[in-house]
Amino acid sequence: MQLNVGCQILFESHDQTPVILMLRPRSGSGQWIMREEYQLSPHVPVVEYADGYGNLCQRITIPQGAFQVRTSAVVDAPDKIDVEPNAHFVPVPELPDSVLQFILPSRYCEADRLGDLALEIAGNANPGYEQVEAIRQWIQQNIEYAYGTSNASTSAVETADRRVGVCRDFTHLGIALCRSLNIPTRMVVGYLYELKPMDLHAWFEAYVGDRWYTFDATQEQPRGNRVTIAYGRDAADVALVTQFAAMDLVEMQVWVTPAG
């Protein structure tokens, strides 16, 4: 389905603040960017580069005072995500070199500490897709979705303990549990059509069978119409805004509507 997606963020900065933004979706094998717009008010010089995952990053210095970022795109995205219960577990020796990094623990996904919980949840499932799906369902049913219960330092171990969080926490927990079973798993940030309430969103992808599959522990059913902005190991890699000084995010609007 063709989607209008976008966000508008208003910052208030007390001083010059270096920032890395990750707000420009790229065309890939799963989505096609038909139109795109990126506005900074006031306009400041930008350097854009691709990070190690291929995400486009915008380096700017936000001046003192009010500063607005507005990005929007018209994107052709798949209506459905692929669901493939038969996708088997890939033994580590057969994994492509490039996905090995996604089995390792990372800042917010302490896979090395969650092996017991993963076995408890998915120990009886068929190795591969069904294990990931068991983990996804367990999170969806056992973690309470609530704003203001976690922060930028909250990690998977803490979420497993407190059983509450937001999409970012659900995702970190799903990733950590899958990795503890040696399933490569990565974080995705982007837009989801009809997300309630509307916001920027996070979910995860697991490598089973011979490719990446999409999983979203915040949703009851598999849902398509997703627009990916960035991939990475966890939120340390794919923060939409990484700021290197104090600065307030005053207001943010996000929209995803049918195009045309």
Q: Which residues bind a copy of itself (CB under 8 A)?
A: 18, 20, 24, 26-29, 32-39, 43, 45-52, 54, 56-59, 61, 76, 91-93, 97, 100-101, 103-107, 109-110, 112-113, 152-153, 182, 236-237, 242, 244
CB of 85 to a copy of itself, least distance (A): 24
Taking the complex as a whole, the smallest distance from the CB of residue 244 to a copy of itself amounts, in Å, to: 5
Helix axes 167-180, 115-122, angle to 10 degrees: 90
Minimum Å gap between C-beta 211 and a copy of itself is: 13
- The nearer residue to a copy of itself, 49 or 255, going by C-beta atoms, is 49
C-alpha distances out from residue 131 to 118, 123, 162, 182, Å: 9, 8, 23, 11
CB neighbours (10 Å) of residue 14?
Answer: 11
Calpha distance 185→217 (Å, rounded) = 13
12 versus 76: smaller Cβ distance to a copy of itself: 76
Q: What is the smallest separation between the CB atom of 220 and a copy of itself, expressed in angstroms?
A: 30
Q: Whose Cβ is closer to a copy of itself: residue 59's or residue 145's?
A: 59
Instruction: Provide the pairing of β-strand 56-62 with 17-21.
Output: antiparallel
Which pair of tokens denotes residue 26?
Answer: 């790229």
Q: What distance separates the 2 farthest-apart alpha carbons in the chain?
A: 56
Q: Where are the alpha helices (DSSP H) in the chain?
A: 115-122, 129-142, 156-162, 167-180
- Cβ distance to a copy of itself smaller for residue 140 or 204: 204
Contact 204, 167 (CB under 8 A): no
Report, in Å, the least distance between residue 196 CB and a copy of itself. Answer: 29
Q: Which tokens in the block code for residue 7? A: 């966000």
Q: Where are the beta strands (DSSP E) in 42-145?
A: 47-50, 56-62, 65-76, 144-145
Shortest Cβ 93–a copy of itself spacing (Å): 5
Nearer to a copy of itself, 29 or 141 (CB): 29
Quote the CA–CA distance of 163 and 174 in Å, as a whole number: 13
| Of 81 and 198, CB closest to a copy of itself | 81
Which residue, 18 or 85, has its beta carbon nearer to a copy of itself?
Answer: 18
CB of 102 to a copy of itself, least distance (A): 11
